[in-house]
Structure 1
């Protein structure tokens, strides 16, 4: 049994009960660049210091059984490619089951349905993103020819793509054998109708992986992922008898005889059969985030929602379980903005694993848990704690870093009265365009395409767009040394009244809709007063060794330099 489904428990508890959405209608994505060492910030140091206290509180109040649970936590940075925090707890009742007597980064656990992530990753790496749109029957023609004719009795496999199965949109469930899936298995819903968690769909995907690679499932994982990424302990088979290994080997259930360790059915392996370690999960997380095995375009396509659930805060990817978090903007703010956390949960009887990536913050984490309640409350409790402490801290760290690296006044030394001031503000996301003058005239309204706009009544914010040019630049050659890192980054300016009308009911206001309150995404780059193909909302920020030195307004060619 693979308990890979996820309960809709509250994921993030904002400490301030009066937290409200930001007054700014923002673009989805990071508010500030995250390419820096997060461990240098006060926000991260405070998080690392507070986390052990949070765990001790869970032990003392009985939420976690201190003696009956063992877990390993690894938080890593995809910007620096390192572990930034780790925490290990070995429950005394389980100590004797550690094969080497030591719990560390290389201790093997069973990871349950986190296996599904490996299955999809291997398929995409081997066959490319285009396989997601390929019909399953093109690869497994034995699924054709279902004998039934009643739509209530027949799974129409010709309608189901590889991507549909990967995103839990196949509308199928039940046993994994292909003849049963073709002739006997009843449909649950039409393909692409709704997201329905399906272990059997991933068992079919395991057959897809085997067919396209002409290898067994385990051989495919080793060849496509383990060998190129240097995974040491990931396999769908337990270590061989007599082999020395580092693992937490829990016994089977005394009443039912069910066991997790050593139950290595290769029929269901692609759905939930892998063993792994926090080290190997970190290597997978770094590889995905840094597009080590995939083109960055494919990575971006893969890490997007492909369906939704009945919850406003949960979406589904392939096979990501995407949690939409309300994060406070800064350490001293009660205002929040939405950030998507890409996770995959896995659980068996006595083992559970959570894997997560936060693209906005360039961090990820894995949690591996063992014990009688591992797949129940333990994994969700630990997920909540790690997310509340470290993902929230990453948001605050980006704000803190931006305040030091991006704020300031920038001038045209050749033109008197031409300057621009950028700020980082407690309750508002992104960079603030506080002032912008050309020869003494306030021109902030230029970004709106309406020079008559009352700029003082508006909030002007700049957001990074993820377009980066690295290397030599004539605009930045006079800064730093020969070894300095130079980047030019595209940002877009958004404007709106400083105080917006009431939010929709889901955000604490009234009514079902925002009524155009939050339509910033629909107007990016639409304004082009100068007919030169460059939007009036585009700014390019020039960085040297991570510090902002120049601001280009590309619509007019204006270049402003930092005023020391």
Structure 2
């Protein structure tokens, strides 16, 4: 006899769980600063360096798996928004590379790798730089006329199974892999071009007319007209906006659209408006003419370094270096080429995947990573694989930090995965601990009203291993506000009150700021370990819910001078409490 899943859930619902804070989505502390001097973080970087040294010395063994250190070289860079060159630069040159006869024998931060699909990040960044956000909801047929013709033919056939209605495909759907269109047209993944004995594999023989006329190798890339003719003859995978399906073809269409919008070639646009502006001197659209900085683990030809991708360059053909990608990452974190608001809109998910911990953006591959305090942070990444190269570009907006990994050699995909896990597991717990320590130093302490006879005060602190600024005590004119809120919330065992940064800030002078925070009021009562609905972390439902005189009881402003808090204002109470210790 089998116990049903529903019955199992009923049995488990009687088990009580202890209270755990449920933060709002976003940073639980202000992002740490001065990381070059932050002992906690610098210790983590030394630990990371030791881990990498040990891994490469033992044949690539790490806690997250192994990689072929004798045949794979890599560059790793960790960066914040402002530190020139980044926070960490780690280079490893395999014995195979050191004995090579072409390109570099030892990699540096300026060594040039192929980016593979990491190129898609450059494509979307460039699109935002050139035309902003305004076209994402426009149909691709507005910008690529050949697709309008194909859409009319599709409508005439009334065959939604075998043809794509391109009028329903928006630029935003293409950028987020939500268009439901084919993954590729006519690439080396085409079985007919792979050299496999297809008939022996159970596949029927095909007439010559079914063989793609171009693009089946990297010496006969398809011209635009031929590419569009072939792509529109393929079948859809899903209806648009149904499910994310990775599509290289979508990014080639975005390239055609951007060229038609700007009236300029992709090569000229990326060089003038991205590479030149950010001094990305080791990045290029075309195959570099000088191989002196190239990482060629198997030589230029066998490594795939000199393969020309033509129109597919914005899909997977760019070249760059660790130092250049750090410059690009810093421009995103510091909003150098886009407005801060546009950066925030860009770094958001568009859809989920079937994984509980992954989502998709434009073109972000987003991972929800658990950190020290039982909360998640979102890591915005873009990976890439082409020939003998693999890459990872990652940014964590909550911490204002990112990393870059470039690898060349054998089994580079798994190598980059292992290295990405190693970097993530080492630096982000340290970043949170550094942020907590800095928040305690900056905001922790007791604040009191200076008005005679008014017994109003608040004490803020951080707790080891927990998120946010904890309100340890809070009195307004002699009344215990924690008891008041517990009464409103009907919390028998009291409430837990924590402040989280809202991102709102006002620079009042060269040395002074007003910083916005929102409190989360949570009952400390234990509760049964329920199902999906009863155990949901849903504090976002109640932010700004309790109002007094049209001001949220959870709204706080902390004034900072010379990097230290001088006052706290619980806005609903119309009071300013000054720091006394």
Q: TM-score range by the shorter chain?
A: 0.7 to 0.9
- CA 64–516 in structure 1, closer or farther in 2 if over 3 Å, else same: closer
Q: Is 1:539 paired with 2:556? A: yes
Cα distance in 2 for residues equivalent to 1:496 and 1:303: 29
Q: Report the TM-score when normalising by structure 1.
A: 0.86
Match of 1:93? Answer: 96
Q: Is the 8 A contact 2:493 2:523 kept in 1?
A: no
Q: Please, which of 506, 513, 522 is the counterpart of residue 469 of structure 1?
A: 506
Cα distance in 1 for residues equivalent to 2:567 and 2:551: 18
- CA 21–190 in structure 1, closer or farther in 2 if over 3 Å, else same: farther
Q: Is the 8 A contact 2:44 2:426 kept in 1?
A: yes
Q: Is 1:424 paired with 2:462? A: yes
Match of 1:527? Answer: 546
How far residue 225 of structure 1 moved from its aligned partner, in angstroms, is 1.1
Provide the aligned C-alpha RMSD in A: 2.2
Q: Which structure 2 residues correspond to residues 436-515 of structure 1 after superposition, within 5 A?
A: 436-444=474-482, 457-472=494-509, 485-502=511-528, 509-511=529-531, 513-515=532-534
Indicate the SS of the match to 1:74: strand
Indicate the SS of the match to 1:491: strand
Q: Please, which of 39, 63, 82 is the counterpart of residue 36 of structure 2?
A: 39
Q: Is 1:105 paired with 2:109? A: yes
Cα distance in 1 for residues equivalent to 2:249 and 2:85: 35
Q: Which structure 2 residues correspond to residues 344-383 of structure 1 after superposition, within 5 A?
A: 344-375=382-413, 377-383=414-420
Q: Please, which of 131, 134, 142 is the counterpart of residue 127 of structure 1?
A: 131
Q: Is 1:247 paired with 2:302? A: no
Indicate the SS of the match to 1:131: coil
Cα distance in 1 for residues equivalent to 2:321 and 2:274: 14
How far residue 81 of structure 1 moved from its aligned partner, in angstroms, is 5.8
Match of 1:165? Answer: 174
Q: Is the 8 A contact 2:383 2:393 kept in 1?
A: yes
Q: Which structure 2 residues correspond to residues 209-228 of structure 1 after superposition, within 5 A?
A: 209-228=258-277
How far residue 70 of structure 1 moved from its aligned partner, in angstroms, is 0.6
5+ long unaligned stretches in structure 1: 1-19, 330-335, 473-483, 503-508
Deviation per CA, 1:12-33, whole angstroms, max 9, x where unpaired? xxxxxxxx99801110000111
How far residue 408 of structure 1 moved from its aligned partner, in angstroms, is 0.5
Q: Report the TM-score when normalising by structure 2.
A: 0.84
Q: Which has the larger radius of gyration?
A: 2
Indicate the SS of the match to 2:518: strand
How far residue 170 of structure 1 moved from its aligned partner, in angstroms, is 0.8
Q: Is the 8 A contact 2:493 2:525 kept in 1?
A: no
Match of 2:220? Answer: none
Q: Is the 8 A contact 1:250 1:261 kept in 2?
A: no
Q: Is the 8 A contact 1:22 1:337 kept in 2?
A: no
- CA 455–247 in structure 1, closer or farther in 2 if over 3 Å, else same: farther
Deviation per CA, 1:482-531, whole angstroms, max 9, x where unpaired? xx6211111111111225434xxxxxx553x132642210111122122x
Indicate the SS of the match to 1:78: coil
Indicate the SS of the match to 2:546: coil
Q: Is 1:117 paired with 2:121? A: yes
Cα distance in 1 for residues equivalent to 2:299 and 2:162: 37
- CA 185–433 in structure 1, closer or farther in 2 if over 3 Å, else same: same
Match of 1:384? Answer: 421
Q: Which moved more, 1:289-298 or 1:379-388?
A: 289-298
Indicate the SS of the match to 1:284: helix
Q: Which structure 2 residues correspond to residues 124-273 of structure 1 after superposition, within 5 A?
A: 124-146=128-150, 147-148=153-154, 149=157, 150-173=159-182, 174-175=184-185, 177-182=227-232, 184-240=233-289, 243=290, 245-251=292-298, 259-273=303-317
Indicate the SS of the match to 1:353: strand
Q: Is 1:316 paired with 2:360? A: yes
Paired residues, number: 511
How far residue 428 of structure 1 moved from its aligned partner, in angstroms, is 2.5
How far residue 98 of structure 1 moved from its aligned partner, in angstroms, is 6.3
How far residue 274 of structure 1 moved from its aligned partner, in angstroms, is 0.3
Cα distance in 1 for residues equivalent to 2:168 and 2:302: 37
Indicate the SS of the match to 2:76: strand
Cα distance in 2 for residues equivalent to 1:445 and 1:528: 17
Cα distance in 1 for residues equivalent to 2:452 and 2:495: 26
